[in-house]
Structure 1
């Protein structure tokens, strides 16, 4: 565990140094931005996020370093001659991996989302370019199912000033349209969560005749907010797991077609900590035998495997976010692939 903490304390300053070199110009562009605000709002939360991300990888490197040292000192030979099985030899490693996994799970599901919300708020205010913010500013041709019978359609909406145009709300009885509310413009009022419709028209459809109402201005409420209009994976990182799962379920009922970016974030919060067990077995399997070249060879192989794992993890996240695929399967692809390698090394180690 000491080696694990030492490895983590090496990785985090490197990440901070790279990030500072990339963002120093953004910080200097804002003369009112103080060092305390940069440290408290950004880098403390930056450390929380990347410490949690690096935990399984730091554990992997720590196990390689620690086991290689045992091997080079021929301590493993003595343990083997004492008739200690390979499975029993792994017990202390799994205790350490369990501690890291439990800590990482708690961080992933509760602490990191709240921390990310503060960090991303800072990035949005001081770092992100206007082009990136504009990508979230305008929504066009948006549709949403509010209830089993009510649907809304918006031609265009500006989330910066909470105004849109060409709004329609339709209510159905089965497949039969029973009412339709339209307006030329719609404005959201954040203070009381109401909507103001201007140039509105309401049509009630009966068996033999229709009734039509109209007016210049109408204040009303709908079961959605401007947050529901923009679907962005970054928002998922800011929600604790309970809130995220609730949001996914509500969005499914509303007929949102592609929620895979949110599902990927939800599944990843469990898959990455569980990887600690898999990477621990691989690390022990690679380094428990004494090799010519010692720790350096084991560490080089381990770093290569670590980068392969990160590569497969990122590929799985990208592919899992595509509409119409099984996000759970793609998120767990790295664990499945490296799990097979871990099983092979475990069975080979028992011999």
Structure 2
């Protein structure tokens, strides 16, 4: 590695770290000002708990969120600075091509990408879980109806279905339970119960006041009783289909959950697929954003760094805007989640290639 490569790589990483370090305290200060009254309401809540269970994970989650923005601003900032000091002109005068000039940027982007991939797939989900548990316990207004799920339908397999009139996710108890098994379009077996409760230590369900009905050729067989302990191919968490559930799983757990749901014949899993694909697409965008930032800032402009930053931040917000739209559309049942998640990277990747080719010719 040449001295110029080490110089640029050092600037790349130090500027990125500096911007991220500057952004996080601002976000934390705003959050503290909004949440301080809620913290003070709980006399049993210590400063240590707030720091360890909330703000440590706040830094992990929002640091990961701010990473692309911090990288983009950092690259534009220090590249504009060395361009303004005519250092890039000196580099080109030494017969170093624009492609060769990009090498330390590529190395820096690779380091950040690998770090972001590890964070997205393994670290951030655990932080999301602890962060959400703390928020639900101390910061959100208590609403006991949010634990009560009504009119639940779940397909366990190609021919197996369950129905619950209501289920309390806090107590793991439900009412008016029904399990139906089909052969083709014909109902062959039905299990009904007035109440159902999850026994976690035994990983079974306990049914109270139950009735079994076997639909045989020419006659039905009915069996009833007071209590029945039985295994079921679902757990209480499977009844909750919310975005937070996907965000709190590591990628291995998320893949396992998606495979399990697909085997049950559940149709739309795009919410979970979007979360899974996004964990890879966002880190890969580091390369795209880096090359766009370098291409924009490598030339000395009238107006200096301010113009480059204005153009760069505008492009960054357009990227984030398209990313959010793609996530919403990707969660729809009729769309291809993989294509929608990667679409912003495809468009901005094309922009990066165009800007690169334009600079490489000069």
TM-score range (shorter-chain normalised) is: over 0.9
Of stretches 64-73 and 256-265 in structure 1, the one that deviates more from structure 2 is 256-265
Deviation, structure 1 residue 308: 1.8
Corresponding residue for residue 237 of structure 1: 247
The answer on whether the counterparts of 2:158 and 2:265 sit within 8 Å (CA) in structure 1 is no
Q: Distance in 2 between matches of 1:203 and 1:108?
A: 48
Q: Does 1:225 align with 2:235?
A: yes
Contact kept? 2:277, 2:338, Cα under 8 Å: yes
The CA distance in 1 between the partners of 2:160 and 2:79, in whole Å, is 62
| Cα shift at 1:221 | 1.8
For 2:36, the equivalent position in structure 1 comes to 24
The alignment status of 1:134 with 2:141, answered yes or no, reads: no
Q: Could you tell me which residue of structure 1 aligns to residue 131 of structure 2?
A: 119
What is the deviation of 1:148? 4.0
Match of 2:304 among 277, 294, 309: 294
Which of 77, 100, 105 lines up with 1:93 in the alignment?
105
Deviations 1:218-249 (A, max 9, x none): 22221111100010111111111011011011
Tell whether 2:74 aligns with 1:62. Answer: yes
Q: Which position in structure 1 is the counterpart of 2:16?
A: 4
Q: Per-residue CA shift, 1:188-223, capped at 9, x if unaligned?
A: 222322222122111122223221111122222211
Is the contact made by 1:180 and 1:203 (CA closer than 8 Å) also made in structure 2? yes
Tell me if structure 2 keeps the 8 A contact 1:165–1:184: yes
- Say if 2:218 is the partner of 1:189: no
CA distance in 2, matches of 1:73, 1:314: 38
RMSD of equivalent CA atoms: 1.6
Task: Tell me, in whole angstroms, the C-alpha distance in 2 between the residues paired with 1:116 and 1:150.
Answer: 33
Assess, with a 3 A threshold, how the Cα gap between structure 1 residues 129 and 61 changes in structure 2: closer, same or farther.
same
**Aligned-partner Cα distance in 2 for 1:172–1:313:** 42
Instruction: Report the TM-score, using the length of structure 2 for normalisation.
Output: 0.92
Residue of structure 1 aligned with 2:290, choices 270, 280, 301? 280
Which is further off, 113-122 or 256-265?
256-265
**1:144–1:254: 8 Å Cα contact kept in structure 2?**
no
Q: Secondary structure at the match of 1:323?
A: coil
Instruction: Structure 2: give runs of 5+ residues left out of the alignment.
Output: 1-12
1:144 CA displacement: 2.1
- 1:186 deviation in Å? 1.5
Match of residue 328 from structure 1: 338
Q: Which residue of 2 aligns with 1:307?
A: 317
1:341 to 351, 354, 358: 351
The residue that corresponds to 1:270 in the other structure is 280
2:276 and 2:31 map into 1 onto residues whose CA distance is: 26
Deviation of 1:313 after TM superposition, in Å, equals 1.6
Q: What residue is the counterpart of 1:39 in the other structure?
A: 51
Count of residue pairs brought into register by the alignment: 349
**Shift of residue 255, structure 1, vs aligned partner:** 2.7
User: 1:82 matched to which residue of 2?
Assistant: 94
Distance 1:125 1:338 in 2: 41
Instruction: Name 1:168's counterpart in structure 2.
Output: 178
Residues 145, 253 of structure 1: 8 Å contact kept = no
Counterpart of 1:156 in structure 2 is: 166
Rounded to whole Å, the distance in 2 between the matches of 1:295 and 1:109 is 35
- What are the ranges of 5 or more consecutive residues in structure 1 without an aligned counterpart? none
Instruction: State the 1:337 CA deviation.
Output: 2.1
Q: Deviations over 1:222-281 (max 9, x none)?
A: 111110001011111111101101101111222333322211111110111011100011
Distance, in Å, in 1 between the alignment partners of 2:130 and 2:87 is 48
